[in-house]
Amino acid sequence: MCPREPGLGPGPGQAGDAPRGHPAPRSPRARTLGRLPDVGDHRRRPGARPRRDRAGWAARGATWGATVTARPLTERQQQRRRRVVRAALDLAAAGGYEAVQMRDVAARAEVALGTVYHYFSSKDHLLAAALVEWVGALERAVIAEPPVGTGTAERVRDLLGRTTGAMAANERLSAALITGLLSDSPEVGRCQEEMHAVFSRLLATGFDDSVDPGRRRRIIRSVEHVWFSALIGWTKGWMPLEQAIAELHEAVDLLLPAPDARGDAAGDVGGDGGP
C-alpha cells in the first residue's frame, strides 16, 4: 500500500507556475487547497548531530522501499519521513520533476541519503506518495467543508473546481507529482491504487441518495478516466492545463447535465439506465 501519514493537511508552501491567463480560484476553499501539504518542519532540531551518508545505501534502496511500509512507523520515523516529503515538494515546486534529485532531497531534509531510500525506493515512488498525500489533504478539506450546490451536477463541479484550482495554483509541482505517478514500478503501482481510491471517495461526496449506486459508480469511473487521461496529455505536453481542465468539465456536462428551466433533473438523478 502506498504510505500515507496521518495529519497531513494543506499548509503554507511554495506555489508553482500558474498558467498564464488562468483565472484564480473563486473561493477561499480553492485557495486553501492550493497550498502544499504541511508535512512538518524539515530543519534539524537544535543540538542534533548530523548524519553521515554511507556509500552504497542508495544502491540498496530499491529493495528497502518495498518492505519499509509493511510495519508502523515510530514518531521519529514519521517526522523524518515528513521532512523527506516536504523537501521533495519544495524542490518540485521550485524546479519541477528534474529538480527532484534524491541527494538534494536528503540534503534539504537534513537526513542521510540512505534514510530517503529507506522510505522510498525511487524518485518516482517519492513523488507518487507525495501526490497521494496531497490528494488526501484535499479529501480531508472537503470533508471539513462539503461541496456546495443544489444538485449532484453542481456539487461535482464544485469539487472538481477546487481540485483543479489547487493544481493550477501549483502547476509545476502538479506536473512533477503526476510524472512520478506514471512510473510502472510496483511501489508506484500501489500509490496508483490508493490514488484511485482517494479520488473516488472525493468525487462520491458530491452525490446523494437520489443517484442510483450503480450509476454513481459508472459516472465516477468515467470522470476519473477523463481526468487522468487529460492529466497525462498535459504532463506529456500534448495540451495545456487549461485544455485538460476544459475537457474534464465537458465530460461532467455530458454525464451530469444541469437541470433545465422547468426543474427537470433527469440528468442529475436516475436509475441504472444512465451513462
pLDDT digits (tens, 9 = 90+) for 197-242: 999 999 999 998 888 999 999 999 999 999 999 989 998 889 998 9
Whether 1 maps to a domain, the answer reads: no
pTM confidence score: 0.70
Whether 146 maps to a domain, the answer reads: yes
Please tell me the predicted confidence (pLDDT) of residue 159: 92
Q: pLDDT digits over 191-206, tens only?
A: 999 999 999 999 999 9
Question: 140: domain range?
Answer: 15-255
Please tell me the predicted confidence (pLDDT) of residue 3: 54
List the Cα angle 115/119/123 in 5-degree steps: 95
- The dihedrals phi and psi of 200, each to the nearest 5 degrees, come to -65, -45
Whether 196 maps to a domain, the answer reads: yes
Assign residue 148 the CATH number of its domain.
1.10.357.10
Q: What end-to-end distance do the CA atoms of the chain give, in Å?
A: 32
Distance of alpha carbon 190 from alpha carbon 129, whole angstroms: 9
Please tell me the predicted confidence (pLDDT) of residue 29: 42
Query: Who has greater pLDDT, 116 or 60?
Result: 116
Least Cα distance to 166 among 154, 179, 177, 153 occurs for 177
Please tell me the predicted confidence (pLDDT) of residue 1: 53
Least Cα distance to 192 among 236, 127, 247 occurs for 127
Whether 271 maps to a domain, the answer reads: no
Whether 212 maps to a domain, the answer reads: yes
Q: Is the pLDDT of residue 162 over 50?
A: yes
Please tell me the predicted confidence (pLDDT) of residue 163: 87
* 122 to 95, 127, 184, 202: CA distances (angstroms): 18, 9, 12, 28
Whether 79 maps to a domain, the answer reads: yes
Q: Is the pLDDT of residue 6 over 60?
A: no
Whether 5 maps to a domain, the answer reads: no
* Neighbouring residues of 223: CB distance < 8 A, sequence distance ≥ 6: 156, 160, 203, 248, 251, 252, 255
Least Cα distance to 234 among 171, 180, 181 occurs for 171
Sign of CA dihedral 170, 149, 136, 180: negative
Count of Cβ atoms closer than 10 Å to residue 203 Cβ: 24
Where are the alpha helices (H) located in 71-205, listed in sequence order?
A: 75-95, 102-109, 113-119, 123-144, 152-169, 171-181, 186-204
Mean pLDDT of 159-178: 90
Whether 185 maps to a domain, the answer reads: yes
Q: pLDDT digits over 44-103, tens only?
A: 444 444 343 333 333 333 333 333 345 788 999 999 999 999 999 999 999 999 999 999
β-sheet bridge partners, residue 38: 9
Please tell me the predicted confidence (pLDDT) of residue 214: 94
Q: Which helix (H) or strand (E) holds 9?
A: strand 9-10
Tell me the average pLDDT of the chain: 76
What domain count does the chain have? 1
Sign of CA dihedral 222, 226, 228, 232: positive
